[in-house]
Amino acid sequence: MHGDAELRQRMTALIGGYQLSAAIGAVARLGVADVLADGPAEPRRLAECVGADLRSLERVLRVLEDTGLFTRFEDGRIGLTALGELLRGDVPGSARRGAIASTEEWRWRAYGHLTHSVRTGEPGFREAHGCGLWEYLDREPGAAAMFNESMSRVAAANAAAIVRAYDFTGVRRLVDVGGGHGVLARAVVEANPELRGIVFDLPGVIEGTRTHLADAGITDRCDAIAGDFFAAVPAGGDAYVLSWILHDWDDGAAAHILANCRAAMRSGGRLLAVEMVVPAEGEPAVSPDLDRLVKATDLEMLAIVGGRERTAAEYRALYAIAGFELVRILPLDGLPWSVLEGALSL
């Protein structure tokens, strides 16, 4: 029944979900979990260490205790739970940077216009900021640095899995289109000594890429080239990688990027898109948690960028428009991404 108290309480909790996100983002920025890494601390000492108002910090921690991130001992000290450990910046699989990036003010504002997105299909980001995400990042270097760092974390998460899952034998020249700072290209090049790589991205990104490749000591085998994939991409590759690129764009723009890759690649070349694949209607999810993550990411595309996550059938159709055949889909073990291998259509 609609009047059931339990249902009303559950609805209230769902509506207030953004408050938990904001609280998690706040303690992540303050570095609360890092202070508690050495053991439980009294609230006053904790507040002094992170530079917070004691009463305000206690109010936020009280909420987060209920979520299982922190625990309060009988003597009043605050400690970390196993879940809260993930907010430390120095642990494998740390979620601290993700918590900060996901709760940045410029991202929140876009979600305030989600109704506009649902009505029009246009990203709420443009309504909130008067420009698209990419234009915004061009004029806001701080936001751009955080965004690029987030993309590098994503690349690092899936680079090793891609190298394990996909056989690059026979690929002599790999072009990583929209490759950011070259994390994925570096992993592939280091695992395949016979292969040379190219990282291709916008001029504002590629300077950082050159620094990263130099630090890795692979500039003799991996080049960094600046350009715009809507104009053209470097020619002569045996394989073109688009890692988390196509989902940023609507079908028309995505097909245009794919067509530019097709025009540039050698005969017999391969197209490798690394994307999340939305389960088809009625198709059982491989993992409920990963399924929820894919759907949440699709919502992010709607609100922030204007792109979308797609089903396998939708990717097959998109490939066909650009002259590719979707040959196979290789899920990455334990991750929400897959490698969608395309071959030139006959």
Q: What tokens were used for 321?
A: 């428009």
Residues composing the chain: 346
Amino acid at 8: R
Helix, coil or strand: residue 68: coil
| 148 domain residue, yes or no | no
CATH for 30? 1.10.10.10
End of a domain among 90, 114, 135?
A: 90
Euclidean distance between CA atoms 233 and 239, whole angstroms? 12
The rounded Cα 41 to chain-centroid distance in angstroms is 33
Question: Which residue in the block uniquely carries the two structure tokens 């020619």?
Answer: 235
Euclidean distance between CA atoms 200 and 239, whole angstroms? 13
Residue 176 shares a structural domain with residue 287: yes
Euclidean distance between CA atoms 319 and 316, whole angstroms? 5
| 151 domain residue, yes or no | no
| 96 domain residue, yes or no | no
- Per-residue pLDDT 10s for the chain (346 aa) are 556 889 999 999 999 999 999 999 999 999 999 999 999 999 999 999 999 999 999 999 999 999 999 999 999 999 999 999 999 999 988 999 999 999 999 999 999 999 999 999 999 999 999 999 999 998 999 998 888 888 877 778 789 999 999 999 999 999 999 998 999 999 999 999 999 999 999 998 898 899 999 999 999 999 999 999 999 999 999 999 999 999 999 999 999 999 999 999 999 999 999 999 998 887 776 678 888 899 999 999 999 999 999 999 999 999 999 999 999 999 998 889 999 999 998 7
User: Which secondary-structure segment (H or E) carries 337?
Assistant: strand 337-344
Number of domains in the chain: 2
129 classed as catalytic: no
Euclidean distance between CA atoms 108 and 25, whole angstroms? 12
Euclidean distance between CA atoms 310 and 316, whole angstroms? 10
- Catalytic residue from among 129, 181, 212, 247: 247
Q: Which domain holds residue 224?
A: 158-344
22 in Cβ contact with 59 (< 8 Å): no
End of a domain among 39, 62, 90?
A: 90
Residue 261 shares a structural domain with residue 168: yes
C-alpha pair distances (Å), 301 with each of 114, 154, 268, 310: 11, 16, 32, 11
Euclidean distance between CA atoms 40 and 75, whole angstroms? 10
